[in-house]
Structure 1
Amino acid sequence: MLKPSSAVQFLMMAALPFSAATAADFTISGGSASAQTLGKNQTGTVTATGTLSVSGSAVAVTVNDNNATLNNLGTIKQTGSGRVIRDNTGVVTFVINNGSLGNNKALMQSADADVIQMAKAGASVTLNNYGSLVSLNASAGGAQAVDFNAVTGANVINNYAGGLLKATDADVVRPGLNGVINNAGQIRSSLVKDDGADGVDAQKNTGVQIFNLPTGLIEGGRHGITGEQADAVSSFTITVTNSAGGEIRGLNGSGINLDGYNGKQAATIINHGLISGQGGTGDGDGIDADGIASITNTGIIRSLNAYSAPGAGLAYSEGISVGGGTIVNAGTIEGLVGAGNTNAVGRGITLAGNDITSGALKGTREGLYANATITNQSGGLIRGQSDSAIVVSGAASGYTVTIHNQAGASIVGGGAASAAIQGNADNTVIVSGGVINGASSGKAIALGGGVNSVTITGGQILGGIDGGSGSQNVLLVNAGAGNGFAYAGAISNFSKVEVLSGDVSFSGVSGYSGATVLSGGSLTLDGAQRLSADSALVLNGGTLRLVNAGAAGQSFASLSLSGDSSVSLGGSSLTFGALGTVVDGKTLTFTEAANGGYAFRLQGDYSADANFLLLIGVTHINGLGATYMFDGAYTRVLAAVPEPATYAMLFAGLALVGAIARRRTKV
């Protein structure tokens, strides 16, 4: 018998021949219309040629004691309003076999009630299905194919390749407390009238485990898989593993939908196949988890569409919406919108708590319920077709959002107004060595009011980088020795922008007023006044280059020297509003200064300033020492021109060297 938590043993069992128990309370080989009952240790068998068809409200097979087994190789039907199989006493170790490895024609079917219902807590049941279990649900009364909702024992549903569990206008499977589903066949719900038609509905039962194997399909007329936290104080956990080749689909809802209140709802979702949602009359997220989730994706998680009535505001078609936790992606996570739908936008990931449905904040979202970390690995794509790829929404929560976009990974926004990554009031940490593409809106990163940090280790950033409204935001560029990073966008709202390593180029016009710190590598400013004149320049190592900057070059609020540094002027110059700290013993070397022009100037008269005189002593311009002059407004620093006597001594020395060389030649 299959153990509850073992998908591996499930596959092994599928390879074994089916064997019915030899002892039986009943065996039906022909036709029968008589309802049956199984007691303790009893076995009932319907052979491949047998049919048990019961009408009215009677249960076709009732189980009233422990250790019973029902084997169906033929057909068991309830054509009236009764169930096919029911336990109302809480039996344990009940086994149902529908079909066998060589027989997928076996059928259990109900006209207007559950096919199988276990109605008492404490029961434990194993269902092995190779054939079909079908609930026709004629009156749309919510008749499931398998209803273990009340069961609190060890519940296992094994749906083998070729097996079908199906319901119309109802949930297909309710697995019960700690229930286990191993699916290699099809679990399908079709939606005609009711919106409660999910493939698997855990209801309020925690501990459910679902393993969808490579040939498995879980499809809901509403959601593919759903469940809910009972209340704000109860814990709710669920685990879903979708193998490569497996599919979980919501036809008018989410692929996986988990309703909850807070961080006590915790989901673990591992996807190597396809999880998709589609909203025809509402949301249709790939995964919508109100609480916390741990999601690992190497396949596809996708929302195909979302619907909102005209005048009711935009609908959001989200690949993933979650209230915190971790997302590790090496596949595709994306939100799309159906053709012609102008009242919805496609978004990759939303990090936020529940919708607020009443009061002054109605229509907004609660804040996060835990820290949130997204790791987009090499080959991973997070995309919003017509909105952001990643949005942090809701009120400030005090938690931190961390986004790692690794080399070879892409975060791509869509639409004309939304940043590829949009933050809120929470602290945000972004580390990117891949691509962040906000070209459609001109915004790559737009953060909020928290303490925010952006570190760029390489890759490509398309669109502006906005650190947000906080006062302690930092942008670091650490591309690594010998590696380049070129950026053509605008940088705004950072208290510090620092280059640590690599060959970095800024060609866009940036407006941040924080410090520009060069601690290693090189920073090329391509064009005149690429950075704000309100930014202070701190030279702590490395090389600053001006290219295509014209005569005016670049202005800064102040200059500080704290490490050996160099500046390549490209025939241009620098202007500073003030002089900051100068560390004794550190050198400053200028190259490509215009002949006869100044290398840099300071506003005001610094001729008697000790800090300035210290700087002059360690500054070299075009291979010469530095001198200065005050022009009435600025103190200009330029290359020191040798005195005439110095030139005479130089020429005499050269003549002497030449004479000695000629004399040696004659000898």
Structure 2
Amino acid sequence: MIAPAPAFAACSISGSGYEITAQNSTVNLDTDCTGASTNAATVTGDVDGVGNSGINDAPGGAGNWSVTINNGVTVSGSDGMLFESAGASVDNSGTVASTDAEGIQITASGGVVTNRASGAINARKDGVEFDGASGTVNNYGDITSADDNGVTMRDGGTVTNFATGTISGDFDGVHIRGGTGIVTNSGQITGDSDESGVQLDMGGTVTNNAGGTITGDAEGINIDGAPGEVINSGTITGATNFGVIMRDGGSVTNHAGGLIKGDNGLAGVSIRGGTGTIDNAGILRGNDDEGVELTAGGTIINRAGGLIEGEADEAIQISGGAGSVTNAGRIESINGGPTVLFDGFDDRFEIQPGSSVTNATTFPNAVNPGIVQAAGGTDTLAFGGTGTQTFDISTVDGNNTDNGEQYLNFETFVKEDASIFNFTGTNTEIGAFAVNGGLLNVNGNMGSTAFSVNGGTLGGSGTVGGTAITGGTVAPGNSIGTLTVNGAL
């Protein structure tokens, strides 16, 4: 037993069976404080009795331990390090190892563990465990658990894994319970044994930066208990499950260069139990299922350059509430079904310039699923955004009869925003169409459609039905041409 002074200067503690009992002290384990810089220090705990940790403070004291472990130092024991008083701080550049339990365990409130680039925390159970109120882990090195989680926090907390850092668990890579979790990753976080890369049990935010990877043997990220938020510029993978699943609603922002993918018949992103919001400029992929599923309604924006892909099912499925999809990128279903499928609510699909929606399978009209399929309710097909695009209006079902069209079961049609759309083809099913912004050139035949021009411009050299102008403009022709109106103007 060593009973230290209130503070240690740089020194070495070597041998076995030591227990450090003081509180409000600083321990600095250095490689050269004994005068022999070639001799690394070692603290080895006794696996019998109270002194079963490499470093173990006494419970119930004033706490606020600060321990620095320099490069070359090894601290090992049944617990590598065990702190039972509040506010412990560990700065590790050496090696902390446990033979039977946690690498570093802080049982009281708070605390900070910083694992430097040369640092390694290797544990039989949790690599780092906080049992009290919110703790903080900053990792630049390696945190590994052989039989449990890489990092466990039982009352919320914050984990930052830098570009050089790896956190891996035989179960979850990071598991935060009992309070809000915040995880920021630029390195590698991995979960195994049919568990998650990151698991948040009471909601929170996961930010995966460019170059960062989060991989779960099951889900890449699993958030429940409260709404979650995922912001991704790296790669998130569910090897046998969802890439990201949120069980109480939430939002996913996938930036350009970001990839989120699920596998084994499960979606790239699944948001359940509450409204979901998706903002995508990267890739969302379900290798054997939907790219995105929202089971309580929600909003999806697929920006220019974005890809949402379902390889064996819809690319997007929204059920359980009203859904809105705005597309300026690519939405693709590889093997079957409609590419976008809505439920029986008041849903909306907006086509913007750059939009591409495809299904690789050709169906006979009798079983045509369309590429975008609405259901009950009053559903809106909108044309918005900025830029210019040509669109074949004959691909739109305007009276809820399936005649082989690609956009099925919509009742309301509108042109808005500053974009320019050039309609080609013939459509005799759409009864009414509102022009509220930008320019719509009808260069085909929509002679059965009544147009209301409320702001923006109706032009082209085709045929339209009766037209009412309220604050908008009719400008016939492309260059010199004629727009034919079948009805009153």
Question: Residues 515 and 488 of structure 1: is their aligned pair in 2 closer, same or farther, counting only changes over 3 Å?
Answer: closer
Distance 2:208 2:113 in 1: 20
1:600 paired residue number: none
Q: Which amino acid aligns with 1:51?
A: T
1:350 paired with 2:350, answer: no
Please state how far the C-alpha of 1:172 moved relative to its aligned partner. 0.5
Distance 2:243 2:210 in 1: 16
Please state how far the C-alpha of 1:147 moved relative to its aligned partner. 0.9
Please state how far the C-alpha of 1:432 moved relative to its aligned partner. 2.0
Please state how far the C-alpha of 1:218 moved relative to its aligned partner. 1.9
Within-5 A mapping of 1:1-20: none
Q: Which amino acid aligns with 1:485?
A: N
1:18 paired residue number: none
1:33 paired residue number: 16
1:151 paired residue number: 132
Distance 1:44 1:112 in 2: 24
Match of 2:324 among 384, 402, 412: 402
Within-5 A mapping of 1:379-528: 379-393=305-319, 395=320, 397=321, 400-405=322-327, 409-434=328-353, 435-441=355-361, 443-457=370-384, 459=389, 464-465=395-396, 473-478=411-416, 483-486=420-423, 496-498=432-434, 501-505=439-443, 516-519=449-452, 521-522=458-459
Aligned residues of 2:144 and 2:167 also touching (Cα < 8 A): yes
Distance 2:258 2:271 in 1: 11
- Structure 1 gaps, min length 5: 1-20, 100-105, 138-142, 192-196, 229-235, 308-314, 338-343, 353-367, 527-535, 546-564, 569-573, 575-581, 588-667
Within-5 A mapping of 1:85-96: 85-88=81-84, 91-96=85-90
Match of 1:128 among 80, 98, 114: 114
Please state how far the C-alpha of 1:226 moved relative to its aligned partner. 0.7
Please state how far the C-alpha of 1:391 moved relative to its aligned partner. 1.0
Distance 2:181 2:203 in 1: 7
Match of 1:327 among 270, 278, 285: 278
Match of 2:65 among 68, 83, 87: 68
Aligned residues of 1:436 and 1:461 also touching (Cα < 8 A): no
Question: Residues 445 and 472 of structure 1: is their aligned pair in 2 closer, same or farther, counting only changes over 3 Å?
Answer: closer
1:206 paired with 2:163, answer: no
Distance 1:464 1:33 in 2: 79
Distance 2:11 2:292 in 1: 55
Distance 2:184 2:330 in 1: 29
Match of 2:224 among 259, 263, 267: 259
1:172 paired with 2:100, answer: no
Question: Residues 506 and 37 of structure 1: is their aligned pair in 2 closer, same or farther, counting only changes over 3 Å?
Answer: farther
Aligned residues of 2:66 and 2:88 also touching (Cα < 8 A): yes
2:98 paired residue number: 110
Within-5 A mapping of 1:503-652: 503-505=441-443, 516-519=449-452, 521-522=458-459, 537-540=465-468, 542=474, 566-567=483-484
Please state how far the C-alpha of 1:198 moved relative to its aligned partner. 1.1
Question: Residues 415 and 377 of structure 1: is their aligned pair in 2 closer, same or farther, counting only changes over 3 Å?
Answer: closer
1:605 paired residue number: none
Please state how far the C-alpha of 1:515 moved relative to its aligned partner. 6.6
Q: Which amino acid aligns with 1:410?
A: G
Distance 2:218 2:330 in 1: 25
Distance 2:183 2:379 in 1: 38
- Structure 2 gaps, min length 5: 32-39, 363-369, 402-407
Please state how far the C-alpha of 1:502 moved relative to its aligned partner. 1.8
2:190 paired residue number: 219
Match of 1:186 among 162, 165, 168: 165
Distance 2:427 2:239 in 1: 37
Q: How many residue pairs were aligned?
A: 433
Higher relative contact order (CA 8 A, sep 6+): 2
Please state how far the C-alpha of 1:471 moved relative to its aligned partner. 8.8
Aligned residues of 1:498 and 1:516 also touching (Cα < 8 A): no
CA offsets, 1:36-92, max 9 Å, x none?
A: 22422122333231011235351222122312122212444445xx2112234xx22
Distance 1:296 1:72 in 2: 38
Question: Residues 472 and 327 of structure 1: is their aligned pair in 2 closer, same or farther, counting only changes over 3 Å?
Answer: closer
CA RMSD of aligned residues (A): 3.6
Match of 1:317 among 267, 275, 282: 267
DSSP-derived class of the 1:382 partner: strand
Distance 1:415 1:490 in 2: 28
1:270 paired with 2:231, answer: yes
Compute the TM-score of the two structures, normalised by the length of structure 2: 0.77
DSSP-derived class of the 1:448 partner: coil
Distance 2:154 2:426 in 1: 54
DSSP-derived class of the 1:379 partner: coil
CA offsets, 1:229-251, max 9 Å, x none?
A: xxxxxxx331222223322222x
1:633 paired residue number: none
Distance 2:92 2:81 in 1: 12
Distance 1:28 1:488 in 2: 84
Compute the TM-score of the two structures, normalised by the length of structure 1: 0.58
Q: Which amino acid aligns with 1:476?
A: V
Distance 1:226 1:299 in 2: 24
Q: Which has the larger radius of gyration?
A: 1
2:366 paired residue number: none
Q: Which amino acid aligns with 1:182?
A: T
Please state how far the C-alpha of 1:209 moved relative to its aligned partner. 1.6
DSSP-derived class of the 1:502 partner: strand
1:240 paired residue number: 206
Question: Residues 499 and 487 of structure 1: is their aligned pair in 2 closer, same or farther, counting only changes over 3 Å?
Answer: farther
Q: Would you tell me which structure has more helix in proportion to its own residues?
A: 1
Aligned residues of 1:179 and 1:208 also touching (Cα < 8 A): yes
Please state how far the C-alpha of 1:320 moved relative to its aligned partner. 4.6
Distance 2:425 2:412 in 1: 19
Q: Which amino acid aligns with 1:145?
A: G
Distance 2:149 2:396 in 1: 46
Please state how far the C-alpha of 1:287 moved relative to its aligned partner. 1.4
